[in-house]
Amino acid sequence: MVTSVYDRVTAVRQQIDEAAVASGRSPGDVTLLAVSKTQPLEKIVKVVKTGLIYHLGENRVQELMEKVPNWPSDLSVHWHLIGQLQRNKARKALELAHCIQSVDSLRLAETLQRICEETDRQVSVLLEVNTSGEASKSGVAPQEAEGLIEAILTSCRTLSLQGLMTIGPLTEDQVQIGQAFESLRALSERLRSSTGLELPVLSMGMSDDYCLAIKEGSTMVRIGTAIFGAR
């Protein structure tokens, strides 16, 4: 049986709502971001036309360059860069994305700050944290996050720091995955009290682990496969 895009998005949204309610939260607390990397524009348009998606995530600047200028102007969405950003692509990223979720160094933050100042632009950013400790993953080490935030607050005042992002560990072990998410939430609470920032966004949870992430406090899940099918 072929499942329609509408059915898949609705099913994911329903799972999100149920997971939120099960942990005593409101469904409206959890934003669904559809990860559209490698997907053709027509398919992404279909997903957004369900009326259930207002945020799209891409992990390469190159794909933002191909998609954003061709996006239908009557369909309003926010584009998020969720993959690693090289400083030489920062200017392009700032032209195309509303939010950069992968800030993990002061050098990158300062580059973004400088371009924002030059171009009179504002951007939301998340700090990517490597909660799993896996060498293959980008993100600042949890114990360095506070120092980095303080440095960003001091020298990058145009950047609107909205919260934290992480990618769960690559394992089937639910306990280990839950611990990584729990550690990001705990870190965000510590940073909130040490910096006085609101840090409302906790971007964690993908197709295989979003219900667990919501249980641990996620406010934004990034879902590709469960919406678009296998890449």
Ligand X SMILES: *Cc1c(COP(=O)(O)O)cnc(C)c1O
Candidate residues 64, 83, 109, 162; the one interacting with ligand X per rule CB under 6 A: 83
Alpha carbons 151 and 108: distance in angstroms, whole number: 12
Tell whether residue 105 is a contact of ligand X (CB under 6 A): no
Nearer to ligand X, 174 or 225 (CB): 225
Quote the tokens at residue 69.
């200028």
Candidate residues 142, 163, 217, 224; the one interacting with ligand X per rule CB under 6 A: 224
Applying CB under 6 A, which part among 43-51, 73-81, 146-154, 204-212 lies near ligand X?
A: 204-212
Cα 75 off chain centre by: 20
Nearer to ligand X, 54 or 192 (CB): 54
Applying CB under 6 A, which part among 60-68, 174-182, 191-199, 202-210 lies near ligand X?
A: 202-210
Task: Supply the DSSP symbol for 166.
Answer: -
Nearer to ligand X, 59 or 113 (CB): 59
Nearby residues of 102 by Cβ (< 8 Å), 6 or more positions away: 81, 82, 83, 84, 85, 126, 128, 138, 139, 165
Q: What's the min distance (Å) between Cβ of 92 and ligand X?
A: 18
Alpha carbons 202 and 222: distance in angstroms, whole number: 11
Q: Which residues pair with 127 in a beta bridge?
A: 103, 164
Note the maximum CA span of the chain.
55
Alpha carbons 143 and 84: distance in angstroms, whole number: 20
Tell whether residue 86 is a contact of ligand X (CB under 6 A): no
Tell whether residue 82 is a contact of ligand X (CB under 6 A): yes
Binders of ligand X among residues 37 to 56 (CB under 6 A) are 37
Specify the DSSP element, H or E, that contains 4: none
Tell whether residue 151 is a contact of ligand X (CB under 6 A): no
Total number of residues that touch ligand X (CB under 6 A): 14
Candidate residues 59, 105, 113, 219; the one interacting with ligand X per rule CB under 6 A: 59
Contact (CB, 8 A) for 67 and 58: yes
Candidate residues 167, 184, 212, 213; the one interacting with ligand X per rule CB under 6 A: 167
Residues within the interface to ligand X (CB under 6 A):
35, 37, 59, 82-83, 167, 206-208, 222-226
